[in-house]
Chains A and B, each alone.
Chain A
Amino acid sequence: MNEVLLDVKNVSKTFPVKAGLFSSAKGVVHAVDNVSFQIHRGESFGLVGESGCGKSTLSRTLLQLVPADTGEICFNGKNLAALSKKEMRAQRESMRMVFQKPFDSLNPRQTVRQIISAPMQVHRKMSRQEMDAEVMKLMDLVGLSRGYVDRYPHEFSGGQRQRIGIARALALQPQLIVCDEPVSALDVSIQAQILNLLKDLQKEFGLTYLFISHNLAVVKHMSDRIAVMYLGSLVEVANGPELYRAARHPYTQALLSAIPDPGSGQKRQRIILTGDIPSPVNPPAGCRFCTRCPNVMERCKTERPTLRTLADGGQVACFLYEQEGGTA
């Protein structure tokens, strides 16, 4: 395995909930709850979970757009929270983000040229010619016609805008790109184009992705390793093919059984979860999943399982697998 590029240790993030104008905080939303994982250089790390489980908050804490409450985020061995503002700004040259909403992520007042060259303007003193050459190279890479360079974002379709966003993220060759649901706002036919573009770019530049999605098929296509998130915490981390072949955590199993299978015509065993997701303001005391788990035990309701590494390298947070080897 390659060296560790991003090391996330016990990161938590809560937001206060205000009851009204004059009252103090009523409670806190546990958006991200004690999450740890590592991303290795050159891999594509998938993060799946249903809406509201804290995927986007997690991605924003990783890039220090919102500060984490506790825990450590190390990028290239440097603890990001401990850096000065200036050092952090320099780090941002090598970590980028591709955003979810293509209609929201490009400044409507800037031309494509200005948008793509923004990272160069911030980090490098380049002459106009150098910058233009760089912008043209990026436009070619993401498959945009060079003639579009002086147009404004509203003149493009969603897929084209996402290409602009990707070109902007690629400027200055970053090491890590966080893709926050980059295709969820696009048509299915366009989704495939953008995903393949991302894959090709990864091969060409040896990029590292953190790929966030709620779409299981998309994550399967894109990721080497996959983490499954439920209610702010990770329940399972495994290599892609293994996760889809033999999911361990009951939540992952239920999730995978919900993927429609139009080909086989066979009826599959569908695991149907009952009840709603508990409120993140007041999560269950023990295992986060204990209110809906089909295999729930008495112990799950009081004690919280930690993410344990099993013999084959997969990690799961469930008492069912405590007997299997590995370390906590």
Chain B
Amino acid sequence: MDFLKRSMKNKKFVFSMVVLVPLVFVILFGPQLAPNDPLAMNTSSALAPSSSQYPLGTDEYGRCILSRLLVGVRPSMTVALFGTLGAFAAGLLLGIFAGYLGGKIGGAIMRAVDVILCFPPILLAMMVVGLWGAGVRNLTVVVAILYTPHFTRIAYSSTIKVRKMEFVENEISIGATLNRVLFGTIFPNIFSPLVIQISLTVSSAILLESGLSFLGLGVQPPDPSWGQMIGDARNFLSVDVMYTVWPSLFLSLTILATNLMGDALRDILDPKLRDSF
């Protein structure tokens, strides 16, 4: 209850909720909300401006942009959210263990994770797609793998800083189990930088999904995704500006909202900042 009350006082949190709650609704019920069939072409009205039939106009094949946006949010957000969560979970576990155990085991974990950083993202994506085929699920796995090192490194360096502090020593001295020390004591103290990283990663994962879909490695046409739509619209920038503006606007709003959400969560969860916003 206290948590909710504090959250509602935080302007950033309220704003991000105003954007994200409808977004979740659209992710769940997008296909039902769409006014037109997102795949139906109507070449006679290609690149049309907004009208009562096509509220946001049409694309180069005469497909309804609004419908495609409402349907295309699902693959983009699935990849971004689940990919980020996967990277967060894997990175947290690896980083906290590496940081706490230190020594040779910790070094080995960190070097193994560093190897992933050597792969160009596109190359890794092509490898996965080549092995298992294109699609949302595989793209999610690619995103999770690609962003794991970022989370691992943050969790690792924060853990190293925290584990030498006396309150961690005290936990050990009262006989706490390893589980309690790592996830009850250390985790809450390294949470803030990780939350920030989550919001940053969600945004860049959406962009990565766009890029990969643009290359044909993600969502396959004619199914829509936001990234793919921006990629397509780019070619018609001089003819129909709004075609590019609509998907970009939705994408920017979503990214802004996730960033603010991360900021707000850090403020809300840190007792020291509790009364300061």
The contact size tier of chain A is: 20 to 34
Interface membership of A89, Cβ < 8 A: yes
Q: Which residues of B contact A101 (CB under 8 A)?
A: 166
Q: Which residues of A contact B167 (CB under 8 A)?
A: 104-107
Q: Which of A65, A106, A108, A118 contacts B272 (CB 8 A)?
A: A108
**Residue ID in chain B nearest A104 by CB atoms:** B166
Q: Which residues of A contact B177 (CB under 8 A)?
A: 89, 122
Interface membership of A123, Cβ < 8 A: yes
The contact size tier of chain B is: 10 to 19
Which residues of chain A from 64 to 100 have any CB-CB distance to chain B below 8 Å in the complex?
65, 88-93, 95-97, 99-100
Q: Which residues of B contact A88 (CB under 8 A)?
A: 175
Interface membership of A240, Cβ < 8 A: no
Q: How far is the CA of A98 from the CA of B28 in the complex (A)?
A: 53
**Residue ID in chain A nearest B168 by CB atoms:** A107
Min CB gap A75→B, angstroms: 13
Task: Tell me whether A100 and B166 are in contact (CB under 8 A).
Answer: yes
Q: Name B's interface SS.
A: helix
Interface membership of A37, Cβ < 8 A: no
Q: How far is the CA of A60 from the CA of B169 in the complex (A)?
A: 9
Known A99-B170, A104-B165, A105-B170; judge A93-B175 contact (CB<8 A): yes
Min CB gap A152→B, angstroms: 4
Min CB gap B158→A, angstroms: 13
Q: Which residues of B contact A123 (CB under 8 A)?
A: 174-175
Q: Which residues of A contact B114 (CB under 8 A)?
A: none
Interface centre among A97, A118, A168 (most CB of B within 10 A): A118
Interface membership of A221, Cβ < 8 A: no
Which residues of chain B from 156 to 185 have any CB-CB distance to chain A below 8 Å in the complex?
165-167, 169-177, 180, 185
Q: How far is the CA of A96 from the CA of B171 in the complex (A)?
A: 10
Q: How far is the CA of A204 from the CA of B98 in the complex (A)?
A: 44
Interface centre among B167, B180, B272 (most CB of A within 10 A): B167
**Residue ID in chain A nearest B188 by CB atoms:** A109
Task: Tell me whether A109 and B169 are in contact (CB under 8 A).
Answer: no
Task: Tell me whether B171 and A118 are in contact (CB under 8 A).
Answer: yes
Q: Which of A89, A90, A97 contacts B170 (CB 8 A)?
A: A97
Interface membership of B36, Cβ < 8 A: no
By a beta-carbon cutoff of 8 Å, the part of chain A in contact with chain B is 60, 63, 65, 88-93, 95-97, 99-101, 104-110, 118-119, 122-123, 152, 154, 168
Interchain Cβ contacts under 8 Å between A and B, 23 examples? A63-B173, A88-B175, A92-B173, A93-B175, A95-B173, A96-B174, A97-B169, A99-B166, A100-B166, A101-B166, A105-B165, A106-B167, A107-B167, A107-B185, A108-B189, A108-B271, A109-B188, A109-B189, A110-B188, A118-B170, A118-B174, A152-B271, A154-B272
